[in-house]
Copies of this chain bind each other. A is one copy, B any other.
Amino acid sequence: MEIRTDLYFGDCKEELKKIPDDSVDLIFTSPPYADQRKNTYGGIPPKEYVNWFLPISEQLYRILKPTGTFVLNIKERVVNGERSTYVLELILEMKKQGWLWTEEYIWHKKNSYPGKWPNRFRDAWERLLQFNKQKKFNMYQEEVMVPMGDWAKTRLKRLSETDKKRDESKVGSGFGKNISNWLEREMAYPTNVIHLATECNNKNHSAAFPEGLPEWFIKLFTKEGDTVLDPFMGSGTTNIVAKRMYRNSIGIEIVKEYFDMVKTEMQPTELILFEPNSNYEKTEPKRRKTIR
């Protein structure tokens, strides 16, 4: 199975139009927050945020498969000592576009950004809003199961019971098989609170989220060979993880520096670039360029 990574350079509002209807299984993205990262994205003022985002979410709705899921990582910033309301308004407006607001996951950032203010504590969580087109969508819950709370204690207890009943289990592979049976029982489904530390990125570009975040949702909402889209690619975390997990992926990035960085980082398999400034712009209508 050949895995493709398609990278588009440009404004996602326009680039998304090139992607066919009902073709993506998971959209996972973290758009530039209002007034943040001005140097790279131009910072959308909180007041204009909803109107800026709605044309994009409209395209995303068109592109997503009916069984697909859209996960939006976002958090409202503080303006004048108050939390902005653009995220609340965005949810209400997206529902008018037809989106179902299925769930809100919490990403608990264990090592949150340091700082001290007289009127608030450090912000240690972000929203992960799950939107769908239908009530029925693909979800592979077994893929993200976690050890139970008192896992070690219970497991040891049960194992000792097993030993009492079955002496033959201690012989070779029988024992191992037994353990795996118990292990299965000692796993539980997770909750809608996700614990992950923000990665201290060792490289020169900082990612908005750790790899574990897209990884969790890619496991949960797609299977191998499916297609993942990140319309605000940034440093490409979503696409890098998707590729590693044998998912096709599409990334769109408006900042040339980021786009080139990801282009360089993505290695073999099939990397497909859509660059408007390519030399072949006039001769090839789709400006396709394949790198192996």
Chain A residues packing against B (C-beta within 8 Å):
80-83, 85, 88-89, 91-92, 95, 100-104, 106, 108, 110, 112, 116, 118-125, 135-137, 139, 141, 149, 189-193
Contacts and interface: CB of A to CB of B under 8 A. Distances in A.
A135 B80 contact: yes
Contacts of A125: 106, 191-193
Given A88-B92, A92-B89, A101 B83 contact: yes
A146 to B, nearest CB: 11
B191 A124 contact: yes
A82 B106 contact: no
21 contacts: A81-B100, A83-B102, A83-B103, A83-B104, A85-B92, A88-B92, A102-B120, A106-B106, A106-B108, A108-B108, A108-B193, A116-B189, A118-B139, A118-B141, A122-B189, A123-B191, A123-B192, A124-B191, A124-B193, A125-B191, A125-B192
Nearest to A89: B92
Contacts of A190: 121
A222 to B, nearest CB: 15
Given A88-B88, A91-B88, A122 B83 contact: no
A82 B108 contact: no
Please state the number of chain copies in the assembly: 2
Contacts of A100: 81-82
A250 B141 CA distance: 45
A94 to B, nearest CB: 11
B192 A124 contact: yes
Contacts of A101: 82-83, 85
Contacts of A83: 101-104
A125 B193 CA distance: 7
A103 B76 CA distance: 10
Given A82-B135, A85-B95, 4 more contacts: A80-B135, A106-B125, A118-B139, A123-B191
A110 B193 CA distance: 10
A103 B116 contact: no
A121 B191 CA distance: 5
Nearest to A80: B135
B192 A122 contact: yes
Contacts of A85: 91-92, 95, 101
Nearest 6 CB-CB pairings of A with B:
A124-B191, A88-B88, A81-B135, A124-B193, A122-B191, A82-B100
A193 B264 CA distance: 38
Contacts of A103: 83, 120
Contacts of A141: 116, 118, 121
Contacts of A139: 118-119
A53 B112 CA distance: 34
